[in-house]
Amino acid sequence: MTDPLTHLSKINRVDQFLIGGDWVTPQGSAFQAVIDPATETEIARIPLGDARDVDRAVAAARAALAGWSARAPQDRADILERLADLMEDRADMLAQCLTREMGAALSYAQTAQVPLAIAHVRTACEVLREFAFVTQRGTTAIVREPIGVVALITPWNWPLYQITAKVAPALAAGCTVVLKPSELAPLNALLFAELIEEAGVPAGVFNLVQGDGPGVGTALSIHRDVDMISITGSTRAGIAVAKAAADTVKRVAQELGGKSPNLILPDADLARAVPPGVAAAMRNLGQSCSAPTRMIVPRAHLAEVEDIVVRAVLEITVGDPRDAGVTHGAIANRAQFDRIQQMIEVGMAEGARMIAGGPGRPDGLDSGLFVRPTVFSDVRSDMRIAQEEIFGPVLCVLPYDTLEDGIAIANDTVYGLGAHVQGRHLDQARAVGRQIRAGQVHLNYPAFDPHAPFGGYRQSGNGREFGREGLLEYLEVKSMLGYFPQS
Q: Give the residue numbers annotated as catalytic, written as ranges.
A: 255, 289
The angle subtended at Cα 158 by Cα 396 and Cα 386, nearest 5°, is 15
The answer to whether the CB of 5 falls within 8 A of the CB of 100 is yes
CB 54 within 8 A of CB 216: yes
By the 8 A CB rule, do 35 and 331 touch? no
Q: Kindly report each contact of residues 75-81 with a partner whose C-beta sits within 8 Å and lies 24 or more positions away, as own/partner.
A: 76/128, 76/171, 76/172, 76/174, 77/125, 77/128, 77/129, 77/172, 79/171, 79/199, 79/200, 79/201, 80/121, 80/124, 80/125, 80/128, 80/168, 80/171, 80/172, 80/199, 81/122, 81/125
**3-state SS track over 322-372:** CCCCCCECCCCCHHHHHHHHHHHHHHHHHCCEEEECCCCCCCCCCCCCCCC
The DSSP bridge partners found for residue 476 are 145
